Amino acid sequence: MIFIKATLINAISKQLYNVFNKPNIYVEHIKQGFLLPCFCIRYVKTEEKTYLANRYKLFNKVEITYFPEKQDNISDKLNEVLNHLYNNFNMLNFEKGFIKAENMEGIINNNTLKFYVEYNFYVFKKDETDKMKKLYI
């Protein structure tokens, strides 16, 4: 699951990089003295549910925080960035295909934008296939 988290964060970073013309991006922690404007990406919640034998559904809620430069029309800028996030993160290029976003939510508070998005998908774990001799439904 750690590999999937890193891959998902990497895919989000690439999307931000392309949509917002090479912004400053921080992952998980923002170092002191960070450069504005910037984005910070971090996992908010992960969950794994078992379906059948070696099949699992992974739930991944990610927070993308945007810190704008100090300016007069900061509210307009935050709303513009929020609109771009909604339009460009509905489908995310992930590994060999695309993954659809769910439950997108944007919150503007204290001159900061927080954008929450979930990317949920199914995985198969190979090490448990031998345990499944018979399947009763």
Residue with tokens 């992930």: 94
Rounded to the nearest angstrom, the gap between the alpha carbon of residue 121 and the centroid of all alpha carbons in its chain is 13
Is 22 part of any domain? Answer: yes
Is 136 within the bounds of a domain?
no
CA distance 119 to 33: 31
Q: Is residue 62 part of a domain?
A: yes
Phi, psi of 4, deg, nearest 5: -65, -40
- Does residue 47 lie within any of the structural domains? yes
CA-CA distance, 113 to 77, in Å (whole number)? 10
Most confident of 67-71, 78-82, 119-123, 130-134: 78-82
Provide the residue range defining the domain that includes 57: 2-131
The answer to whether 60 and 12 have CB atoms below 8 angstroms apart is: no
Would you state the structure tokens that stand for residue 22, as one six-digit string? 């090479």
Q: What is the pLDDT of residue 137?
A: 44
> Directed axis angle between helix 2-19 and helix 74-88, to 10°?
120
Q: Say if residue 96's pLDDT is above 60.
A: yes
- Number of structural domains (the chain) is 1
- Mean pLDDT (whole number) for 1-21: 88
- pLDDT at residue 129 in the model: 47
For the cut 80, the answer to whether the pLDDT of residue 76 exceeds it is yes
pLDDT confidence bin for 121, thresholds 50/70/90: confident
Q: What is the pLDDT at residue 18?
A: 94
The answer to whether the CB of 117 falls within 8 A of the CB of 101 is yes
pLDDT tens-digit series, residues 122-133: 888 776 445 544
Q: Is residue 137 part of a domain?
A: no
User: What does pLDDT average to over the chain?
Assistant: 87
Whichever domain contains 119, its CATH number is 3.30.2000.10
Percent of the chain scored above 90 by pLDDT?
60
Q: Tokens in use for 61?
A: 């809620």
